[in-house]
Amino acid sequence: MNTLLEVNKVVKQYGDYVALNEVSLSVPQGSIYGLLGPNGAGKTSLIRIINQITMPDSGQIILDGEKLQPKHVQYIGYLPEERGLYQSMKVGEQCLYLAQMKGLSKVEAKKQLEYWFDRLGIQGWWNKKIQELSKGMAQKIQFVVCVLHKPKLLIFDEPFSGFDPVNANVIKDEILALRDEGATIIFSTHRMESVEELCDHIALIHKSNKLIEGKLEDVKRLHKTNSFEVGVLTDNVEGLMYDITQKFTVSPANFKSLNKELKLEIQIGNSLPNELLNLLTQRGQVTHFVEKIPSVHDIFIQTVTK
Amino acid sequence: MSIISLIIKREFFAKVRNKSFIVMTFLSPLLFVGIAVFVSYLSSMKADVKQVAIHDETGLFAKEFIAQNTEENQYKYLDLSQIDSQYLKDSIASNGYEGVLVIPKTAAVTDLENKIEFISDGSPSISFIENAQDIIARKITKINLENAHLDTLAIKKAQASVNINIAKTSGEEGLKGLNEAKIAIGGAFGYLIMMFIIIYGNMVMRSVIEEKTNRIVEIIISSVKPFQLMIGKIIGTSLAGILQFTIWVIIGLSLLFAASVFFGVNIGPAANVSPALIEHSQTEFAGTAQLFIKELWNLPIASILIGFVVYFIGGYFLYSSFYAAIGAAVDNQTDSQQFLLPVIMPLMLSVYVGFFSVVNNPNSTMAVAFSMIPLTSPIVMLMRIPFGVPWWQLAISVTLLFGTFLLVVWFAAKIYRIGILMYGKKPSWKELYRWLKY
């Protein structure tokens, strides 16, 4: 897979405060790339550098094989976390203005706007002022402004905040559709369930440093503890426990089931799962056997609190 | 279309379509003309004639006062020397007199100097008292001269009056009154620049603050450079300002014209002059007016106009950059006060220097110095130009102005760049200095 965006040892300092410490990332073409990190980790600083709002103190950014330069602004669509539009400007006029700033001609901008307004079912808003719209409606306009010029790289900072579940779903589907059409998406959020759902790559920034980066599955594989949740129906609990504790680390588990079986979480270390399974089947009836895969949420908490 | 012209266009239309802008554009000239008409109406109203009783026991002065009674005179003097002074004093209110002037009988006329009294329940105006003193003093002087057996007529003849005529080395005749015209032209242009800077500089600042509080600024500067945004804003706002100013001038002039026709009021300095006086001086005036117009044409009109444009652009851009940087540094308008003071100060200073120093001597050290300092030169130099300024001074002043302008824009752009993304706290001067180094 080609790399669309390459961030190379980027450093950004504000006075004595280091906001980004030699951060390197590579965002593959056509991926949805989750940029995670606690508040103040340096995500916004990085996003602003990619958008050329601020310049890095050192380091390099390569977009589509070229060093990042002013003409690249038209390849990038940015939805900042802090949303805002001109309150007293009309929707249509405002979108045209912002699209022209991204290098679209007026005619082309108008064509695209009509397409998107139609697609999101907001045709009637053209002559409304932003101050007449609800917050969610204004967010929709902002989304349109962000994607209007068909950017190769889309940067969404908390795209779902402010949307009701129905509209959040609409936006989610649009994001997936944009990905399918070939756009690459950087997705910064604190909502881990949407990361699980959408992202195929993630990176975690904490205290100005990048700690984790990779394909979501690879990251999970790396962070799994080789634990299994098991449920066993047995008459001889002591015997079973004795056998298992000889070889593995065991702790009680909690999951929902219909039987009153023994529920355990077992770390098998370097052993193979079948060794555990054989042991269990000798002693009782196995009703539940699942490998524990860490969620992004778990990985986040684990890495940040370490 | 280039990005900056897009921004200029948006800023211009955002300002021009604003309701308060439209209302102010059409209301201000009405207010201004309304006030002008009201003031000149008041000043053209005839004041009530006030009666002043003269009780002259010497019999020397009453005639002199009576001679003053004319149609135009606000005071009417009545010779009531025959009536008892005490009675007069008591009846001031009942007879509706303004007051009673009591001139007692003394051994010699010279003894009168400190003995004359004006009794009144009101407070007489200074000009009235001075006039009365003048009449009495002149009479006493005349009597003194006669007592000394001096020929008053010969003395009057011997008194010389001198009137210095002003001329240029080129031999052309000049007018003394022209200096006032020069001051007026320079002052008007200087004042215009100050007003423009304060009104529209503030507008630039508000517009920056608006973008910041809207949070749209992050989207905009992900497409354009902050510097482009700032320059576009300044130019767009100034175009809206020029439009507003032009409308003001057009509406103001036509309203003023209409009002003067409609009310039959002479607006301006001529309002206080009586028709008789104008008629009397008509012939003399025509000659003077011709000379005046000729002199006006001899003024460095080209220099004044070019100077106005150059200093207007330089000054407005210089100050607007300050305003833009301040707008970027703060979150709301109340926080801007501490930073605005140092911006307003040099503006006020230049107007004061202009009206006190330049008017006295356009080539004084102070006037020259302040017409060089970039923050004050747009106003002070403009006031000096009508009096003639050596070209090298102009060159230095303009170079300094535009040099400083570039420097300030550079600094302002830095503060702007950092400031527009800073939220939530009011920065200190120290912090602004730190931003310059980011």
pLDDT of B436 over the 50 cut:
yes
Does A51 lie at the interface with B, CB-CB under 8 angstroms? Answer: yes
Residues 132-151 of A with CB under 8 A from B: 142, 145
Taking Cα atoms as reference points, which of B43, B77, B39, B79 lies closest to residue B59?
B79
Q: Which of A14, A73, A97 is the closest to B222 by Cβ?
A: A73
pLDDT of B170 over the 70 cut:
no
Looking at the domain assignment, is residue B255 inside a domain?
Answer: yes
Query: Chain B contacts of A54, Cβ < 8 Å?
Result: 417, 421
pLDDT of B269 over the 60 cut:
no
pLDDT confidence tier of residue B146, bands split at 50, 70 and 90? confident
Q: Do B215 and A76 touch (CB under 8 A)?
A: no
Give which of B222, B417, B425 to mutate to test A binding, by max A Cβ within 10 Å.
Answer: B222
The rounded distance, in Å, linking the Cα atoms of B191 and B184 is 10
- Residue B294, pLDDT score: 63
**Whether B333 and B418 share a structural domain:** yes
**Whether B243 and B107 share a structural domain:** no
**Whether B130 and B224 share a structural domain:** no
Q: Are A68 and A153 in contact (CB under 8 A)?
A: no
- Residue B290, pLDDT score: 62
Looking at the domain assignment, is residue B41 inside a domain?
Answer: no
State the smallest CA–CA distance between residue B344 and chain A in angstroms. 29
Q: Give the helix/strand (H/E) hosting B414.
A: helix B391-419
- Residue B91, pLDDT score: 81
Q: Which of B1, B10, B219 is the closest to A80 by Cβ?
A: B219
Query: Chain A contacts of B421, Cβ < 8 Å?
Result: 48, 53-54
B200-219 mean pLDDT: 87
Q: How many residues in chain B?
A: 438
Report the chain B residue with the minimal C-alpha distance to residue A47.
Answer: B222
**Whether B186 and B145 share a structural domain:** no
User: Kind of pairing, strands B99-103 and B117-119?
Assistant: antiparallel
pLDDT confidence tier of residue B278, bands split at 50, 70 and 90? very low
Query: Chain A contacts of B218, Cβ < 8 Å?
Result: 53, 78, 80, 82, 84
- Residue A155, pLDDT score: 94
- Residue B351, pLDDT score: 86
pLDDT of B296 over the 50 cut:
yes
**Whether B26 and B69 share a structural domain:** no
B338-359 mean pLDDT: 86
State the smallest CA–CA distance between residue A14 and chain B in angstroms. 7
pLDDT along chain A (306 residues), means of 10: 88 86 92 90 90 89 90 91 86 92 90 91 88 87 91 92 88 93 92 88 91 90 88 86 86 84 87 87 88 88 85
Does A88 lie at the interface with B, CB-CB under 8 angstroms? Answer: yes
ipTM over 0.85 threshold = no
State the smallest CA–CA distance between residue B74 and chain A in angstroms. 59
CATH of A225-294, one of 2.30.130, 3.30.70, 3.30.110, 1.10.10: 3.30.70
**Whether B225 and B181 share a structural domain:** yes
3-state secondary structure of A11: strand
**Whether B292 and B423 share a structural domain:** yes
Does A15 lie at the interface with B, CB-CB under 8 angstroms? Answer: yes
User: Kind of pairing, strands A227-233 and A209-215?
Assistant: unpaired
Looking at the domain assignment, is residue B355 inside a domain?
Answer: yes
**Whether B223 and B347 share a structural domain:** yes
The rounded distance, in Å, linking the Cα atoms of B420 and B437 is 16
- Residue B130, pLDDT score: 87
Q: Are B323 and B315 in contact (CB under 8 A)?
A: no
Query: Chain A contacts of B10, Cβ < 8 Å?
Result: 97
pLDDT confidence tier of residue B274, bands split at 50, 70 and 90? very low
State the smallest CA–CA distance between residue A306 and chain B in angstroms. 31
Q: Are A302 and A223 in contact (CB under 8 A)?
A: yes
A153 or B335: whose pLDDT is higher? A153
CATH no. of A3-221: 3.40.50.300
Asked if A3-221 and A225-294 have one fold, the answer is no
- Residue B403, pLDDT score: 92
For residue B141, give the CATH number of its domain: 3.40.190.10
Looking at the domain assignment, is residue B45 inside a domain?
Answer: no
Looking at the domain assignment, is residue B90 inside a domain?
Answer: yes
**Whether B241 and B325 share a structural domain:** yes
Query: Chain B contacts of A73, Cβ < 8 Å?
Result: 222-224
B369-396 mean pLDDT: 87
B188 or B298: whose pLDDT is higher? B188
B325 or B112: whose pLDDT is higher? B325
Does A83 lie at the interface with B, CB-CB under 8 angstroms? Answer: yes
The reported pTM is: 0.73
Q: Which of A82, A89, A102 is the closest to B218 by Cβ?
A: A82
Q: Which of A51, A52, A85 is the closest to B214 by Cβ?
A: A85
Taking Cα atoms as reference points, which of B320, B312, B318 lies closest to residue B385?
B312
Looking at the domain assignment, is residue B169 inside a domain?
Answer: no
pLDDT of B110 over the 80 cut:
no
Q: Do B216 and A52 touch (CB under 8 A)?
A: no
Contacts 24+ apart (CB under 8 A), A127-134: A127/A90, A127/A91, A127/A92, A128/A90, A128/A91, A129/A87, A129/A88, A129/A89, A129/A90, A129/A91, A130/A85, A130/A86, A130/A87, A130/A88, A130/A89, A130/A91, A130/A94, A131/A87, A131/A88, A133/A91
Asked which of B158, B186, B201 is the last residue of a domain, the reply is B158
The rounded distance, in Å, linking the Cα atoms of B183 and B178 is 9
Q: Which of A14, A97, A145 is the closest to B438 by Cβ?
A: A14
Q: Do B219 and A82 touch (CB under 8 A)?
A: no
| Amino acid, res. B233 | K
Query: Chain A contacts of B14, Cβ < 8 Å?
Result: 86, 88-89
Domain ranges within chain A, ordered by starting residue: 3-221, 225-294
- Residue A260, pLDDT score: 82
Q: Do B6 and A97 touch (CB under 8 A)?
A: yes
- Residue B272, pLDDT score: 46
Q: What angle do CA B102, B105, B108 make, to 5 degrees?
A: 125
Query: Chain B contacts of A97, Cβ < 8 Å?
Result: 6, 10
**Whether B237 and B357 share a structural domain:** yes
Looking at the domain assignment, is residue B79 inside a domain?
Answer: yes
pLDDT confidence tier of residue B125, bands split at 50, 70 and 90? confident
User: Kind of pairing, strands B75-79 and B50-56?
Assistant: parallel
Does A53 lie at the interface with B, CB-CB under 8 angstroms? Answer: yes
The percent of residues in chain B predicted with pLDDT above 90, rounded, is 6
Q: Tens digits of per-residue pLDDT, B23-75? A: 988 888 888 878 888 888 887 776 677 888 888 888 888 888 888 887 777 78
Average per-residue pLDDT for chain B: 80
- For residue B272, the enclosing domain spans 3-30+176-437
Query: Chain B contacts of A53, Cβ < 8 Å?
Result: 218, 221-222, 421
Q: Are A115 and A193 in contact (CB under 8 A)?
A: no
The rounded distance, in Å, linking the Cα atoms of B401 and B396 is 8
- Residue A95, pLDDT score: 92
Q: Are A124 and A74 in contact (CB under 8 A)?
A: no
Does A161 lie at the interface with B, CB-CB under 8 angstroms? Answer: no
B210-220 mean pLDDT: 86
Looking at the domain assignment, is residue B39 inside a domain?
Answer: no
**Whether B74 and B219 share a structural domain:** no
Asked which of B101, B130, B158 is the last residue of a domain, the reply is B158
pLDDT of B298 over the 70 cut:
no
Q: Are A247 and A269 in contact (CB under 8 A)?
A: no
State the smallest CA–CA distance between residue B432 and chain A in angstroms. 12
**Whether B203 and B151 share a structural domain:** no
B269 or A110: whose pLDDT is higher? A110
- Residue A1, pLDDT score: 63
Interface of B with A (CB under 8 A): 1, 3, 6, 10, 14, 18, 211, 214-225, 417, 421, 423, 434, 437-438
Q: Do B217 and A84 touch (CB under 8 A)?
A: yes
Query: Chain B contacts of A76, Cβ < 8 Å?
Result: 222
Q: Provide the number of structural domains found in chain B.
A: 2
Taking Cα atoms as reference points, which of B116, B112, B115 lies closest to residue B141?
B112
